[in-house]
Amino acid sequence: MKNLFTLLDYIFGRTFVNIASAASIIGLAIIAFSDKNQAIIGLSAIIIFLIAVLIKIYISFSQYLGQQTSKGYKNLSTTSKYITHDGKTITYETHKYIVCKQLLFAEHEHKYTWSGTKSPVISSETMIVEGIVKTGDGDWDKVILRFKEPLMFNDFAIIHLRMQIDDSDCRSSTHMELQVTEKMQLLEFIAELRHKKGSVKPARLLKKKLNTQTSVSYELIKEVLFDKATCSYETSVYDPKPNFSYRLEWDR
């Protein structure tokens, strides 16, 4: 908060004192020299000065806001849902609830990993899908999403992502995973496995520190019981630790 007051004092204090001083000097010059060309030069100087001040204000605010979050937004919560009726055709949806924390926010990168052999068909109800960046080497891929209208500072938005997946060869790993890189309030996993009947083993909620070797094992947080009434696993993680990857996995 102290930094914010310092910034406001700097921008709205010293800067506008300089504007007033410069405007007074230029105004006196215009009065002293009534020639039309001199008046045009004086007005042009005022316009250029004001443009320079606006640019300085924009840069100052951008630098300040950039210190608050590296991504330009705060992710309040993320919910991921995995739905299958037969274990072979999958609908995977993600909802992120975010608040913009920069002056203008137009694009969002969503990281995902898919272990199956066929690429997901990606769409969104709230965003425009710009493209997919394949990283390879077992790393997380990225989908680039553009807002239909750019967000302004403190705007709230819901980022929706849907993946239609063909896993008819059953080569994928049966899990859901999300990365947490900054502080947030809630992660929620929902896996609706409507083909599973009878006695079903519990799923496992796991976590692993980001940027660790693939040989490092995931840490078990807890087991998640299968709800026979809804044919699903469901669990939440409140205040998840940043720089961890969280996974819900179950037996095929």
The per-residue pLDDT for 226 is: 96
Mapping DSSP to helix (H, G, I), strand (E, B) and coil, where does residue 26 land?
A: helix
Largest CA distance in the chain: 94
**Among candidates 161, 179, 177, 155, which has minimal Cα distance to 73?**
155
Torsion of CA 113, 108, 98, 136, to 10 degrees: 10
Place of tokens 């094992």: 217
The per-residue pLDDT for 58 is: 63
Place of tokens 């899990």: 175
Question: What are the CA-CA distances from residue 176 to residues 59, 90, 138, 223 (Å)?
Answer: 40, 12, 16, 14
Q: Which amino acid is at 213?
A: Q
Instruction: Write out pLDDT tens, residues 34-71.
Output: 566 666 776 777 777 777 777 766 666 555 555 556 78
Please name every residue paired with 127 in a beta bridge, in sequence order, or none if there are none. Answer: 147
Q: Can you give the pLDDT of all 252 residues of the chain as single tens digits?
A: 444 444 444 444 555 555 555 555 555 555 555 566 666 776 777 777 777 777 766 666 555 555 556 788 999 999 999 999 999 999 999 999 999 988 889 999 999 989 889 999 999 999 999 999 887 656 789 999 999 999 998 999 999 999 999 999 999 999 999 999 999 999 999 999 999 988 899 999 999 999 887 778 999 999 999 999 999 999 999 999 999 999 999 999
The per-residue pLDDT for 127 is: 96
Question: What are the CA-CA distances from residue 208 to residues 136, 179, 196, 202, 231 (Å)?
Answer: 20, 9, 28, 20, 27
Give the span between the Cα atoms of 28 and 11, in whole angstroms: 25
